[in-house]
Amino acid sequence: MSVKLLMGNEAIALGALRAGVSVTAGYPGTPSTEILETIAKERRDGVYVEWSVNEKAALELAAGASYAGARTLVTMKQVGLNVASDPLMSLAYIGVKGGMVIVVADDPGPISSQTEQDTRTFAKYSKLPCFDPSSPEEAYEMIGDAFELSEELHTPVLFRPTTRMCHATAPIDVAEPAFVGGGVLNAPFHFEKDPKWVIFPRLSVKNHALIEKRNRALSERFSDYNFNAVEGRSETFGIATGGVCYAYVKEALRRLDAEWVKVLKIATPFPFPQRLALDFLDSTECVFVIEELDPVIERELLYVAGAAGRAINIYGKEITENLPASGEYTVELLTEKLAAFLGIAYEPVGGGVPDAPPLPVRPPVLCAGCPHRASFYAVKKAMSGKKAVFCGDIGCYTLGNAQPLDMVDTCLCMGAGITIAQGLSRAEPDRAAFAFVGDSTFFASGITGIVNAVYNKNDMVLIVLDNRITAMTGGQTHPGIGKTLMGEATAALGIPAILRAIGVEPRVVNPLELDNAISAVKAAAWETGVRAVVFEYPCVNVAKPTGSASVNAEKCTGCGLCARELGCPALKVGDKAEIDASLCTGCNLCGQVCPFDAIEVTK
């Protein structure tokens, strides 16, 4: 045994390795990304790990390996599950052989996501068992249970941490031996041919019935699962909770000196442990349900109570509206609500910082020297005064919406900008429709949209922002880079070559050469059909700075144009322009914008 400080995501990865996982795959997405990165770092020979092209590919690859008997792990963020839902819904009917755990990290808040969707609800919809750990310590243990259950019942299992747990660090006894079996090299797997692997309506009818029966049995079994529990001893009051809210509730009760209150903790929101819940309700007069996002536990308790004909007061977010229906919860909020529920006097803390001087505003911005700034600026200049609409996409470059660039008019989901642009130009043909897409998103789900445009003769200008990395999530590889997550060299797929194969001849430009960049966009905008400009320049977190810019105070008139046009965080203008040398990369974009040649770059 040795105690290690592990982040929730690391705990999940080490727990999976300990459970003997052999094949692991996923697509980066905050807050799930570090799970696979940890596998890549800590794995031993025979454990396979990959960044798949998207979540659907990851899940299907893992399904194949599970068919052959390997234990597999798939990781993604909650919106990734939407991409993977096609294989997931069918795989729920087909099942697996080797244990398969799909980790889907939810993001209450949302802190860095498009939606606040709740994977516990998805579990119920897809009829798949779901584990909901409340701490990194618990996640480390629970993921092993998830693998056991999956393998025993031949079904994929969902595992749903949330942001605060993924990014919390806890001391964990990393058990020895750290690994139990596992690894492709250590266990020769074999796929047995059998009609059961081929989905047909007749098979689905049979399997659907079996799944419903299994889930009823599982509800019964989960009532005895050790991480589902009733704690405390009160008669009147009860609290039902799960996930990280369990930790918040414990802390709030401690603050209120009310640790005696009975708490029902739900670690398996689906199938819901009905017998355990009924026992809990039986010995309670009023229940307060505390959970972030969907009222999953609340509805289940109402259902259980109703079906059993129990008259009991159940408070929560849906019917009684005692808690916000959306957003992240905090200990502070819950302490206040619990005090009211329990009738304990409590003076709320917080309430802002009164009389403080105005605080600096720090919204997320594109980094100093970010090549996306140059690309956006070039398109903006090329299209100034013309009728145009700019569809953005998911990545750092969504930040192109901020002032002063203001170049993102729409953003929906991965790859959507490309197809939304086509719809816009169908509805409003006299307005040029642009779509910006990053390199990783291009591979993940951009290509089909371009094929659609070519096939249907839709009109659009595609702008690929190729910065040679998946930047938003912290710098992961993708198919264009020539390196796998295992560290091996591989083919680097060229985006221009792919476009050519689809029938689009792209203009390939360095966005930091501003004049060339503007002319390329102007030329593309002038043509009709599907046009493309590929801006190639590496992310500042990949490429070394090329130098550093400085202001020639004699030439600078202090006009402020550079800062006003570009919004580079290294640049500000008082009496004269000033450049923060610790941030500046020497990209020389401002030098090309300055009308007085006042900015000089030294290499």
Partner 1 sequence: MNILICGVGGQGVVYASKLLARQALERGETVHTAETIGMAQRGGSVVSHVRIGDNCPSPLIPKGDADVIIGLEPGETVRNLEYLKPGGVIAVATRAIPATAGGDYDAGKMFDYLKSLGVELIVVDAEEVFRRDGSYRNLNVEMVKAIQHLI
Query: Rule CB under 8 A: which residues touch partner 1?
Result: 3, 5, 111-112, 135, 164-165, 167-171, 244, 246-248, 250-251, 254-255, 330-332, 335, 349-353, 355-365, 367-368, 396, 563, 567, 569, 572, 582-583
Tell me the C-alpha distance between 306 and 302, whole Å. Answer: 6
Is 549 a residue that touches ligand SF4 (CB under 6 A)? Answer: yes
CB of 402 to ligand SF4, least distance (A): 11
Which residues of 275-428 form beta strands (DSSP E)? 286-290, 313-315, 388-391
Selected from 165, 589, 594, 598, the binder of ligand SF4 by CB under 6 A is 589
* Closer residue to ligand SF4, CB minimum distance, 214 or 372: 372
CB of 588 to ligand SF4, least distance (A): 5
Q: What Å distances lie between residue 51 and 31, 319, 468, CA to CA? A: 15, 42, 15
Looking at the Cβ atoms of 163 and 219, the one nearer to partner 1 is: 163
In this structure, what token pair is assigned to residue 476? 């992961």
How many Å apart are CA 329 and CA 308, to the nearest integer? 31
Rank residues 261 and 568 by Cβ distance to ligand SF4 and give the closer one. Answer: 568
Is 43 among the residues that bind ligand SF4 (CB under 6 A)?
no
Question: Which C-beta is closer to partner 1: that of 312 or that of 402?
Answer: 402
- Quote the CA–CA distance of 242 and 470 in Å, as a whole number: 33
Q: Which does 549 bind (CB under 5 to 8 A by kind): ligand SF4, partner 1, none?
A: ligand SF4
Residue 464 as a binder of ligand SF4 (CB under 6 A): the answer is no
Nearest to 391 by CA among 429, 420, 366: 420
Angle of helix 447-455 relative to helix 495-502, nearest 10 degrees, comes to 30
Using alpha carbons, list the distances in angstroms from residue 558 to 18, 162, 403, 569. 61, 48, 20, 17
Count of residues interacting with ligand SF4 (CB under 6 A): 25
CB of 244 to partner 1, least distance (A): 7
Q: Specify the amino acid at residue 147.
A: F
Residue 568 site contact among partner 1, ligand SF4, none (CB < 5 to 8 Å, cut-off depends on kind): ligand SF4
Three state DSSP letters for 23-55: EEEECCCCCCCHHHHHHHHHCCCCCEEEECCCH
Q: Closer to ligand SF4 at the Cβ: 113 or 467?
A: 467
369's contact among ligand SF4, partner 1, none, with CB below 5 to 8 A by partner kind, is: ligand SF4
| Amino acid code (one letter) for 314 | I
Give yes or no for a contact between 332 and 349, defined as CB atoms under 8 angstroms apart. Answer: yes
- DSSP assignment string, 234-248: -SSEEEEEETHHHHH
Nearer to partner 1, 560 or 591 (CB): 560
Tell the smallest beta-carbon distance from residue 79 to ligand SF4 (Å).
19
Q: In 10 A of CB 363, how many CB atoms?
A: 7
Query: Does 556 sit near ligand SF4 (CB under 6 A)?
Result: no
Binding of ligand SF4 by 223 (CB under 6 A): no
Q: Which of residues 390-409 bind ligand SF4 (CB under 6 A)?
A: 396
Name the binder of 62 from partner 1, ligand SF4, none, CB < 5-8 A by kind: none
Residue found under tokens 């919809």? 125
Side chain identity, residue 102: I
The answer to whether 101 touches 159, Cβ cutoff 8 Å, is yes
Give the shortest CB-585-to-ligand SF4 separation in angstroms. Answer: 5
| Residues in 516-535 that interact with ligand SF4 by CB under 6 A | none
Binding residues (CB under 6 A) for ligand SF4: these are 366-370, 372, 396, 467, 471, 539-541, 549, 566, 568, 570-571, 579, 584-590
